[in-house]
Amino acid sequence: MRRALAVAAAALMLTSCAAAPEPAPADPARDLAGKVNADAIFGHLEELNGIAAANRGNRAVGTPGYEATVEYVVGVLRDGGFEVSTPEFEWLKMGDPGKPTLQIGGRSYPVTQASPLAGTPRGGVSGPSLRPRKPAGCAAADYGDVRGALAIVDDTGCSVVVKQNAAVAKGAVGLLVVSAGGTKGLFEPGYYQKLTLPVAVIDRTTDAALRRTTAPVRLTLDAQASVAKSRNVLAQTTTGDTTNVVMAGANLDSAPRSPGINDNGTGVAALLSIAAALGPAPADGNAVRFAFWGSESLGAAGKYVSGLDAGQLDDIAIYLDADMLGSQNAGFFTYDGDQSAATNEAPEGSAGIERTLAGYLNLAGVRPADIPLDSAGDSGPFLTAGVPVGGLTTGSNQRKSAVQARLWGGRAGAAFDPNHGTARDDIENVDHRALSITGPALAFAIGTYAHSIEGVNGVPARDRRHRQG
């Protein structure tokens, strides 16, 4: 009996030891960075390169190569213990681009068809061009009688869908939106499916021609497209504070005629390596969410952000972007979170993220430079929503200056990535040294904020966030 009790006690002790969580490391950021290396990242790149080779040399969204990429990423994350979701997003798959035009006084002016799902009948639509009393045309009350006319509005005040609905209510047969390129807020999510009226965006020159005539004009919109669906990939740790989510993302697809191994297989592979090193249930701190966006050019990240409510946006403490981390003629750029090279302001906390990344790079032996932080790319929707953002890149098709070549080595006058968007963007043209620096740097930043969002490089606490999607 005594022996049986002793065995049972020993078994209980072993079970207790096995079930006990590992203690958090003294320096979790350094610990995570130390577990990420270029060899592990290259292991994923080899798989992505193989997927491209088996699928006509590319992994572009809407192709079997892209779907195989999604399945690979999902498999790696699930095998690592993560719960993974693959939410769909819609995108326009362009067909015949047509030749959208507006005929004014016998002369044809090129226009932009707002939605290739809403064209004109063969031969176009014609009528007088009339303007509302209020240039924005956001309400039916802004118009007089525009039955059978093409209404002309500016690009301010409301979305193009609201403008269309107001014009339709007063009988317009088409809508012309005058824009100089500043169309923020004009195109709401899913607008192309909400437009039923022929709508064209015109420039100031075309608008001036309209002002010189009272004769009927003819609008022809003949571009064609269909709505396609694709998938993002999301995975989040099962532990950590879910009101302080540290989010890191990379676009998953390649250019149409490229394997896309630097752009952006390197960002994808780095995040997969970091996820494996972090594990699905870290000991403490904040939750970490990894995002693999279906396509940067199709705005997959923006569609994700637009689907979050204010509370879900407030739960995101920071967003880190991983884009082109192994350029062959590498530079070392951090996103300009302190806006030292710009006049506009970034969300509070972005400067601290830049300092965190720059501090690691300096200690790794490379002096970083700023790259503009703007609304382009996957970080743009987070920036616009007010989320502190940061990120790393080793450069694209910009040319390396002589000063940069002295700073980082490589060839002055050549592009940072001379293979960008081409069939040569394969595993043979990724810089191992660059990845050995940028991968751990990204891991360090994720580890830093996963541990704590406070400190000199911290970001606003949850109760100080007031985000807008």
* Nearest Cα to Cα of residue 199 among 112, 126, 104, 133: 112
Give the type of residue at 242: T
Q: Is 277 strand, coil or helix? A: helix
Helix and strand totals (H; E) in the chain: 14, 19
**300 and 382 Cβ atoms separated by less than 8 Å:** no
Q: Is 442 strand, coil or helix? A: helix
**Catalytic site residue from 296, 345, 348, 454:** 296
Give the type of residue at 400: K
Q: Which tokens sit at 407?
A: 């700073």
Q: How far apart are CA 302 and CA 339, in angstroms?
A: 22
Altogether, the residues listed in the chain come to a count of 469
Q: b/e map of 263-282 (b: 16 or more CB within 10 Å)?
A: bbbbbbbbbbbbbbbbbbeb
188 is catalytic: no
**390 and 337 Cβ atoms separated by less than 8 Å:** yes
Cα 402 from chain centre = 31
Q: How far apart are CA 469 and CA 467, in angstroms?
A: 7
**408 and 332 Cβ atoms separated by less than 8 Å:** yes
* Nearest Cα to Cα of residue 61 among 69, 72, 49, 71: 69
Q: Is 149 strand, coil or helix? A: coil
Contacts of 437 (CB under 8 A, 6+ apart): 332, 361, 364, 365, 366
Compute how many other C-beta atoms are within 10 angstroms of the C-beta atom of residue 441.
28
Q: How far apart are CA 466 and CA 309, in angstroms?
A: 11
CA 209 vs CA 106, 144, 224, 328: distances in Å: 11, 22, 27, 49
Burial label for 422, CB within 10 Å (0-12, 13-18, 19+), is: middle
Tell me the sheet residues that pair with 229.
90
Q: Which residues are catalytic?
A: 296
